[in-house]
Amino acid sequence: MSAPFGRRRAAVRHRRSYGPYVVLGALDSTARAQPGQFYMLASAERWGGGEGERPYLARAVSVLAVADDGITEFLLEDVGPGTRRLCEAQPGEELLIVGPLGHGFVPPGGGVLPLLVGGGIGIAPLVAVQRAWGGAALLGFRDGDHAKGAELFTEALVATDDGSVGHHGLVSDLLEAELAKQPRPIYACGPAAMLEDVRRRAAHYEVASQLALEAPMACGFGACYGCVVATVEGYRRVCLDGPVFDGALLA
């Protein structure tokens, strides 16, 4: 669904924690996001919101889930002042939001359950995919504390860098094992190196891949050209032409 024009307020209705990750649920009955779309989020008050306070650019945040009651959920991690303020938000506070934005994932066809490959905070849009269309989740985290994010999925295979939970190694190890057993379409989101690995493996096994790219964004709707990415068809804006791209387009 296309975003309504302009920035609007959305009240925070609930907040949950999964290790270092925070889930915020905000009431936004104006629009319903599709898996893979995102919003630009900022706080309505304190450090970035309110008269006379220090401003900061809104943060691009993937949609985690959309409930029938109009609650849209987002997954956040404190990695700087802007995201720290968002992570601090409590029920009753308000967010300033723009969205949903961008092009999301295309539903799988033929009743095939795809492989969902996520790294770190990149797991967020894959939660929405699994809840909408199903799929087997393969997730990579730096340690056991971050691996608590896997609790957001119905089922998941987990790899950690330090070996504290699940497979000791990279999520690409899990992906290779699954593709060797049964090649099938891949939906992925995470760090650039992980996505490039996924793209190459998908090409090797001749399966389709849809990759949700992460990129710094200033506006979220294509005006600033700050998030361009090279494709076989020239440069594309992640916010407007993505964030989800066909893996073959990025070859």
Q: CATH number for the domain including 126? A: 3.40.50.80
Residue where a domain stops, chosen among 46, 68, 101: 101
What's residue 190's pLDDT?
A: 94
- pLDDT tens digits, 165-192: 999 999 999 999 999 999 999 999 999 9
pLDDT in tens, 22-34: 999 999 877 788 9
Give the start-end residues of each E strand in 67-114: 71-77, 94-101
* Omega before residue 243 within 30° of 0, cis: yes
Model pLDDT, residue 150: 96
| Structural domain of 127 | 115-214
> Do residues 89 and 122 share a domain?
no
Residue 106 within a domain: no
pLDDT value of position 63:
92
Low-confidence ranges of the chain (pLDDT < 50): none
What per-residue confidence (pLDDT) applies to 52?
A: 60
Residue of 201, 59, 212, 200 lying closest to 129 (CA atoms) = 212
